[in-house]
């Protein structure tokens, strides 16, 4: 622990400096997010310790692996949330679809860029929490750069997959006025089937298969599996290829569905 602290001192210092500078600008919302995330991490760690009390492995995972997995999933949780459906609903209510579509850049590409930029900012904001999880909660991250590389590529691919799926899902906003209920289903399904609450490998086979046939796992469980020792570097090419296929299929589908939905609104009047 001490040795690794010395090794990563420069990182630590940078984070501390950033925290100090921005501390005064940090408002209550950020603190609230911190507290909420830390509390849930504490709950998870104690819960899983109790789960592993009588055994050393479950579904092939050791306690340390599971804890790493769950902590990562919690810290990365914004990555499985979505606001696209609210955004569509809002746009429709304001009658702004025509405006959006006449903008020079492709709407989907533009919104994806904005969305990813926001996510990046949010994750950077969470860096102190990663540090806390690493120092106190037993988050164990691999040191192999190859694994990290595999993780990042898989993460980017998976996030695009999820974004495209949500794009399609959000088109329901063109057909239903009350988007709140839909988003609840999306949140519930997303958090469960992305493996964010329970590692997918622990699920019974039929449930695992269901999870893998949904896009949520690609955005969270699959990339995180590299960091928690579930997937190895050798698995990377196969995994990336799968994600790429997901991506291409959803890219085509989402644009078709979107086109249909928009036509429905502009023809019938929103």
Partner 1 sequence: MTRYLELYWHFLIQRFKILMEYRLNFFIGSSSTAILQAASLAAIWVVMRQIPSLNGWSFYEVILVYGLLTMGESITHMFADNLWTVGWNYVRSGDFDRFLVRPIDPLFHLLADRFCHDGIGNLITGAVLVGVSMQKLDIAFSLLHIMYIIISVLSGGVIFIALNLITATSVFWIMESIPVTQMVFTMNEFAKYPLSIYHSSIRVLLTWIIPYGFVSFYPASYLLGRDVGALVWLSPLVALVFIFIAYRIWLFGLRHYSSTGS
Partner 2 sequence: MAIIQVEHLNKTFKVQRKEPGLAGAVKALFLPKYEDKVAVNGISFSIDTGEIVGYIGVNGAGKSTTIKMLTGILVPSSGSVLVLERDPHRERVANAREIGVVFGQRTQLWWDLAFIESLSLVAKIYQVPQVRYKQLLDQFAETLELKELFSVPIRNMSLGQKMRAELAATLIHEPRVVYLDEPTIGLDLIVKERIREFIKEQNRTRSTTVVLTTHDLGDIEELCKRVIIIDTGKLIYDGPIETIKERFGKYREITFETLSTPGHVDLPSGAEIILAEPRKISVRFDRTAITASGVAAALMNQIEVKDFSLSEPDLASIIRQIYNGALNEEQAA
Nearer to partner 1, 145 or 204 (CB): 204
Cβ atoms of 217 and 69 within 8 Å: the answer is no
CB of 33 to partner 2, least distance (A): 20
Pick one of partner 2, partner 1, none as the site partner of residue 175 (Cβ within 5 to 8 A by kind): none
187 near partner 1, judged by CB under 8 A: yes
Of residues 30 and 123, the one with the C-beta less far from partner 2 = 30
Segment interacting with partner 1, rule: CB under 8 A, options 30-38, 78-86, 126-134, 216-224? 30-38
Q: Does 92 bind partner 1 (CB under 8 A)?
A: no
CB atoms within 10 A of CB 241: 11
User: What does the alpha-carbon distance between residue 164 and residue 245 come to, in Å, rounded to a whole number?
Assistant: 13
Scored b (16 or more CB within 10 A) or e, 104-129 reads eeeeeeebbeebeeebeeeeebbeeb
Among 1, 20, 25, 204, contact with partner 1 (rule: CB under 8 A): 204
Instruction: Rank residues 21 and 110 by Cβ distance to partner 2 and give the closer one.
Output: 21
What, of partner 1, partner 2, none, does residue 24 touch, CB below 5 to 8 Å by kind? partner 2
Does residue number 28 form part of the binding site for partner 2 (CB under 8 A)? no
Please report whether residue 205 would count as binding partner 1 according to CB under 8 A: no
| 207 is an interface residue for partner 1 by CB under 8 A | yes
Contact call for residue 32 and partner 1 (CB under 8 A): yes
Of 219, 207, 210, nearest in space to 247 by CA:
219
Q: Binding residue for partner 2 (CB under 8 A) from 2, 24, 28, 50?
A: 24
Question: Cα(129)–Cα(59) distance, rounded to whole angstroms?
Answer: 28
Integer Cα distance of 179 and 174 in angstroms: 10
Tokens, residue 116? 């990813």
The two three-digit tokens of residue 16, written as one number? 């501390």
**Binding status of residue 258 toward partner 1 by CB under 8 A:** no
Is the Cβ of residue 52 or residue 130 nearer to partner 1 in the bound state? 52
Q: Residue 47's binding partner, choosing from partner 1, partner 2, none, with beta-carbon cut-off 5 to 8 A by kind? A: partner 1
Binding partner at 204 among partner 1, partner 2, none, C-beta below 5 to 8 Å by kind: partner 1
Binding site for partner 1 (CB under 8 A): 27-29, 31-32, 35-36, 39-40, 42-43, 46-47, 49-51, 53-55, 58-59, 177-178, 180-182, 184-185, 187-189, 191-192, 197-198, 202-204, 207
Binding site for partner 2 (CB under 8 A): 21, 24-25
């Amino acid at each position: 622990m001490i040795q690794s602290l010395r090794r990563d001192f420069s990182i630590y210092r940078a984070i501390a400096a950033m925290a100090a500078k921005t501390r005064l600008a940090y408002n209550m919302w950020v603190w609230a997010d911190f507290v909420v995330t830390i509390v849930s991490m504490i709950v998870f760690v104690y819960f899983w310790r109790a789960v592993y009390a009588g055994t050393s492995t479950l579904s092939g995972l050791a306690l340390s692996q599971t804890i790493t997995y769950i902590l990562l999933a919690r810290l990365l949780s914004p990555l499985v949330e979505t606001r696209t459906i609210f955004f569509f609903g809002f746009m429709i209510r304001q009658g702004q679809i025509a405006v959006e579509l006449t903008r020079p850049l492709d709407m989907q590409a533009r919104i994806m860029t904005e969305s990813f930029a926001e996510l990046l900012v949010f994750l950077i904001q969470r860096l102190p929490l990663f540090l806390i999880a690493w120092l106190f909660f037993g988050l164990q991250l691999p040191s192999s750069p190859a694994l990290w590389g595999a993780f990042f590529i898989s993460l980017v691919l998976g996030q695009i997959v999820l974004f495209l799926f949500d794009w399609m899902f959000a088109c329901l906003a063109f057909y239903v006025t009350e988007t709140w209920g839909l988003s609840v289903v999306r949140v519930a399904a997303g958090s469960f089937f992305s493996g964010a609450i329970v590692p997918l490998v622990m699920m019974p086979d039929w449930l695992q298969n269901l999870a893998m046939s949904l896009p949520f796992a690609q955005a969270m469980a699959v990339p995180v599996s590299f960091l928690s020792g579930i997937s190895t570097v050798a698995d990377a090419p196969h995994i990336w290829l799968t994600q790429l296929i997901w991506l291409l299929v959803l890219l085509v589908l989402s644009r078709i569905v979107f086109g249909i939905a928009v036509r429905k609104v502009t023809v019938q009047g929103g």
